Amino acid sequence: MNKTLLTLAICMLCSCANQTQSIQAETTNLSSGINLENFSTSVRPQDDFYHYVNGKWLEEFEIPADQAYYGTSSILKKKIEAQIQTIINEVAQHDQQPGSAEQKIADLYRAYMDTEAIEARGINSLVAEFNKIDAIQNTADLSEYFGYADVFSRAPISFYIELDDKNSDQYIIFMDQSGLGLPDRDYYLETDEQHTSIQKKYITHIGNMLSLAGIENAQTKAQEIYTLEQFLAKGHWDYVSNNDLDKTYNKMQFEELSTLVPQLNLDAWLTHAMIDKPENLVVLQPSYLEVVNKAIKDTPLNTWKVYFKWHLLSNYAEYLSTPFVEEDFNFFGTVMSGKTAQSNRSQRAIDMVNRKAGELVGKLYVQHHFPEEAKAQVLQMVEQIREAYANSIRNLDWMSNETKTKALEKLAKLKVKIGYPDVWRDYSQMDIHGNDLVAMIIETRRFYVHRGRSKLGQPVNRSEWFMNPQSVNAYLDPARNEMVFLAGILQPPYFNFGADVAVNYGGIGAIIGHEMGHAFDDAGSQYDSDGNRSVWWTDEDLKAYQMRIEPIIAQYNAFTVVDGTPVNGEMTQGENLSDLTGLSIAYRAFKANYSDDALIDGFTPEQRFFIARAQVRMRKYRDEELLQQIKINFHAPAEFRVNGVMRNMPEFYQAFDVQPGDGMFLPEAERIKVW
C-alpha cells in the first residue's frame, strides 16, 4: 500500500496529497465501456444473458494455476497489485526513517522476501510460542491460553469489540464460535464421498504439519485433534442460524458466563485475551459455550496442547520455511480450492503487506492512483440513486405511510464514504523492525487486537473504515447506517470515468444500489436510522414485506452447480434481494437522469445498462472452490447474480424482447418486486 525513494521519494510522497487532483481518471479505450470480445456468438441474450455477455471468455480463459477463481474483480485486483508492487519496490530499495510508514512497509516486505533467513530459522521462530503451550499444567493455565490463543492464533471461542446492536452509541464485547481448521461445521459433519475425502486428507495434513515441527506420533495426535474439532463443530451454529439477529443477540452480565463455561477461569481468560472485565457482553451462540465447557472437562490437557500447536502452525505456516509453506498450500490451496501452483513469492509478499499494513499502503496508493474527480462523480450517482430509492418508497402500494416515513428517514440519514478515509489509522504503536518475519506477524496481531479491544468504554469512532481503500469492494454497515465505496472498485469496468453513462449505472450504479438495498434487506431492515436494532415497521407492513421476499429463497434453491449441488437460497437471501433491489433502483436512477437513446456498439442505452451488470459479474471457478463457496458464501455464484436477478425485472424483458419459451423467461406472477 505505499512507498518511494529516500530523499527524493519522501519528498515526492509528501507532495502527493497536493497533487491528487492532477491524477488523471483512467478510462478504457472502448467506445462504450463494454468489452465485446467476451461475447458468445452461440448464446441468445433471451436464453442465458450471463453466458451471452461473457460466454467466449468463460469458454476460452484458463484460470491461472495459482487462483481458485478468476474474473472481473481478479483482473482489476491484478492491476492494483502491480501498482502497489511498483510503490513497494521503490520503498524497499532504500533505508527509511525509523517508525515511518515507509519503514514498516519496507521491513515487512523485505522480511517476507528474505528466504535465506526464513529457511535458516525453520521452526525456531515458533519455539517460544510452543514453550507457552508446553507450560500448560492445569485448567487454570488452559484458561489463560484460551485467551492468549484468541489474540495470537486461534481458540475455540473468540472475542471482538463492536457497536452494540441495540445501542449504536457504545461498544460492547461479542463472543463468537471459533476453533475449527476447516471452513465450516458441515465439513466435519457431512458423510458423503466428497466430505469424507476432505476429512481424511485434513487429518493427514495435520499430521504432516506436526511431523515437520518435530512432534512425535504425529498422525495419532492428528486424529485426536480432528476428533476435538469435530466435537466443537457439532456445537457450532450453521450459517443461517448465525444470520438470525434475534437468536444471536444474547446480552448478559459477565458473571453469567460462569454458568455456561464453569470450567474456565473467566478473569484469567479475559486478561490474556487483552480484555478488561466488562459489566456485560453479547454471547452469539450460548449453546456452543456449553459444548466448549464439556470439551474442556472431557479432553486431556495433552490433546489441548497439541491442538493449540496445530493451530499455531496452521496460522503461521505462510511465514515459515518451505516445507511448511508447501504442505499448507497442498491442502488449503489444492485440496480445498483446486489450485495447482502458488503465486510467486513477490505477489504473496504484496498480499501480506496489504493484509498487515492495509491503510499504510492504502494512503500511498490513493495518492498515486485515485483521482478526486472520480469521487465527486460517484457521489453524484449515489445521490441520484438515493432519490430514485426514495421515490420507490413513496410509491409503494403495500407499505403504510407510517413505515414509509421511517424508511425515508433512514434513507436520508444513510451516510456515504467514498474512496479513502478522511482520518487515517494511526500505526505508530505497531512496532515493526528487523527481519524476523514471524515476530513481525505476531506484533501485527498484537497491534490490531489491542487496537480493537481498546475501543471498549471509548466514544464511537465514526471516521473508521473496515476495509482498505485499495480493495475492490464496497460495504454497508447497518449499525452505523453508512455505505462505503473503496477506491479500488471505482475503476473500469465498474466505474469508467469517461465512458457511457448507461454502462456506469449498470456497473458501479448497481453496486451503489446493492449496498443501499442492504439497508432494507432481511437483516438491514431490522436497524433504524440511527443504526439501532428496533422494530420500526408496522406488523402489517412487516408481514407484507416478508411475503414479497419469501419467493426469492425458492428461486435460488432451484439453481445448481457442480454435480447438481443446489445454491442455498436461504443463506444467500439477503445478497440476492440486494442484487435485485440494487439493479432495479439503479435502472430507475439511470432512466431519470439520462434521456439520450443513441446506439453505441449496436446496443441501446437500456441494453448497455444490463450488459454492464453482466460483465462486472464475470467469474470462472474451479469446481473445488465453487463447492466450498456454496457452503460458506452469502453470495450466490456469479451467473445467478446476473440471470437470477434479470429474469425478475420487466425492464430487462423490454430491453431484449424476452418472450415465453425463452430461457430467461419467468411468468409474471412468479417475478419478485419489493421496492
Taking phi first (over 0 means left), then psi (-120 to 50 degrees means alpha), and beta for anything else, what does residue 26 get? beta
- pLDDT given at position 31: 54
Cα 319 to chain centroid distance, Å, stands at 23
**Three-state DSSP state, 587:** helix
Question: pTM for the whole thing?
Answer: 0.92
Q: Report how far apart, in Å, the C-alpha atoms of 614 and of each of 249, 448, 557, 581, 640 are.
A: 37, 37, 21, 16, 10
Please say if the pLDDT value at position 124 is more than 70: yes
> Angle 224-227-232 (CA atoms, 0-180°, nearest 5)?
130
Q: Where are the beta strands (DSSP E) in 319-432?
A: 415-419
Compute the distance between CA of residue 208 and CA of residue 297 in angstroms, rounded to an integer: 28
Q: What cell was used for 200? A: 481424511
Above 60 in pLDDT, residue 9? no
- pLDDT tens, residue by residue, 155-212: 999 999 999 999 999 999 999 999 999 999 999 999 999 999 999 999 999 999 999 9
Q: Radius of gyration (Cα) for the chain, nearest Å? A: 26
Dig out the grid coordinates for 374 from the structure: 472520480
Per DSSP bridges, beta strands 167-177 and 251-253 are unpaired
Domains of the chain (ranges, CATH numbers): 138-301 (1.10.1380.10), 391-421+467-670 (3.40.390.10)
Q: What average pLDDT does this structure show over 298-306? A: 98
Q: Are strands 619-621 and 415-419 parallel, antiparallel or unpaired?
A: unpaired
CA 234 to chain CA centroid, nearest Å: 25
The dihedrals phi and psi of 476, each to the nearest 5 degrees, come to -115, 135
pLDDT at 216 over 50: yes
Q: Nearest Cα to 261, choosing from 299, 303, 297, 304?
A: 297
Q: How confident is the model at residue 24 (pLDDT cuts 50, 70, 90)?
A: very low
Mean pLDDT over the full length of the chain: 94
Q: What is the pLDDT of residues 32-81, one digit of tens each?
A: 789 999 999 999 999 999 999 999 999 999 999 999 999 999 999 999 99
